Chains A and B, each alone.
Chain A
């Protein structure tokens, strides 16, 4: 079957670095996306990897290894406003999302 696995919760302090991993098993693969969702809000796009390697966008970076069916989202210089849920998603034959990782940033 198809699945995306990511940790359910992560806690870190302001200014720290945190990595959220995602492993996937899907029918077809075109790319791995990451979305952020604050409580009560809609998911918003963060990044997309279609090819192996690291993509950097400001404080956020995303990595993909297609051979390992694995990716991660790296958040640097954590801020309180980064407290949210983060979802990995795979574009394959359709669109699949992971269950989400709830990140709590503490002062």
Chain B
């Protein structure tokens, strides 16, 4: 079984709809991240969380919100989806005990299309 899973893997929605992307991990890591990837722009950090009670905005948090329901679960919500939020979304985890290496482990991604 995959250590970092994302659901759904693909989603098509309409402008103005609220949607939630979910991420679960079995690695026991305390740190979790949400990124979006657009062609030619690399990965951009949306939100990150260093533990259940810690939520931090990343580079591009506008239009997004997150919830860290448990150490293993980190959800990303688009309150009112717009077409320029069409992108590939990745969840990632890391272990603060591994802070020297700063290795991030990525989920398989969610491909989102907003019409």
Contact = CB atoms under 8 A, between A and B. Distances in A.
Interface residues of B, number: 23
Q: Is the interface of A mostly helix, strand, loop or mixed?
A: strand
Given A94-B45, A94-B58, A42 B108 contact: yes
A4 B108 CA distance: 24
A95 B58 contact: yes
Interface residues of A, number: 23
A55 B48 CA distance: 28
Contacts of A50: 100
Nearest to B2: A42
B42 A45 contact: no
B44 A97 contact: yes
Given A94-B56, A94-B59, A96-B45, A42 B107 contact: yes
Interface of A: 4, 8, 30-31, 33, 35, 41-45, 48, 50, 87, 89, 91, 94-100
Interface of B: 33, 35, 40-45, 48, 56, 58-59, 90, 100-109
